Structure 1
């Protein structure tokens, strides 16, 4: 077997092993999972998630997911907790401890301190009979038969299982809260993902110039308008309503067909019934319309009147594409 085949075989084996372990998690779910979700949902405090080693990294990721979906959460490294960070935990907070073995020295020191403070504790562990499992109020079973590591040592399958249980918690809480796309945008205002959820056509078109000519405009006037407004297009407007559109492509086609353009008017070269969009529509809807019809611009309307142009470049600039 050559090197490439060996690499692909190992990758396939890893993915298959982990996917089977993840599928098995659904068989390990108990009422503890549902009760843990309800506990978090009804809590007036935060979720404090802790772990050691690779489990700490997974804890940090779950914290990020919960925070972005409406459940206030804080990461607390288990080693730091027993050296001063235990003060992070407030009276109404719920603690999630993540540990494959459930028997690490840090966990054995930390768990009694949490119980002494009377905070509810949820365990995500691969060993429900461990010290952590025996002392937790709720147990989420993350048992896996084997790590993907050929030596069965490096946390691979086990950390994937922990992460999936964290995702399951987050999604269940999201649904209980009725967390909508608008809520999601509120927590992600700066990224491209958030912009897809809140950015509207008017937010883009209002930054552009507003090219327009009347039906009787000469070809020269059309060319000047398109050039000055720098959008590659002009609307043909009458009584503030869109009658047609002229693009720089229309001008090129006109020149290839006509030797004498001196008598031509905007109405002679415009395209009728151009694609348009309402200014309060979502920017992502403009993107989908442009992709569907293979165009680069859309004319924008407000209350049936011409309101401007949104260009493909606007969407690219804002990260919508």
Structure 2
């Protein structure tokens, strides 16, 4: 796994005490948004009610221009559950604001800074009543990237493989790096990082299989790729490990459909549930699920896009590394046999 902290795990580890009387925490939020100038307050109570969610009541929204192209979104939320409100801010409210803004004519550049400021306005009253104060912290909402330990022998092995590569898969390796560089120097990944990472990683994969199946369509290429021995062995290993089995299980429980109403999720599920496993079918349907996630993201009809991209990334990323090394070694063995 690439990540070692999930929002749910953090929530479980924090002592939660939900107010039972008429007390509500009032959270004031400031989000810096770059790309336009605005100064107004939303007074439409019906609109505010429509964007409220569960126990998170949106009390007010306003914009204040700060400087140049930066405006601050100010919002107040009433809630009885701070952690639920923090999750709402990052996973519901923030995407809702972004998607609304991109609809506005004239906006062509847009970004929201990650350092959202949250202040509990009635903190003193909550303390007097004995209710806990949990500060807003991105660690509850983002996934902390596990830092791998690279030893000398691993580096030397990778360097030798790169030299043997003889530039054949250089473009694929370049796009893998671009995919990895999404988070920059940050130690966490947010929801949008996974979508961007998977799209770029697929570009790396596309570059790879295009070298193997010159002139073939994407669909035919990935189907042919799935029949390779090392790919079948890779999916066999995924099935045999509890942690990686869950990744394929996630894909099999979605509704990933290819052209011709071909439900590859259902086919993967059926092949995984067979008493006598057909690993050729698991490999084919697993690769086609990755392809279907790519299609859903590229063509804009994905549901649960963050979870899908995260899962697909964790399956595809090690597979590309394995594939490049396997193809390099295969060519080398062929040359030696001549």
In which range does the TM-score fall when normalised by the shorter chain? under 0.3
Tell me which protein shows more helix as a share of its residues: 2
Q: What TM-score do you get using the length of structure 1 for normalisation? A: 0.27
Q: What TM-score do you get using the length of structure 2 for normalisation? A: 0.26
Kindly name which structure, 1 or 2, has the bigger radius of gyration based on alpha carbons: 1
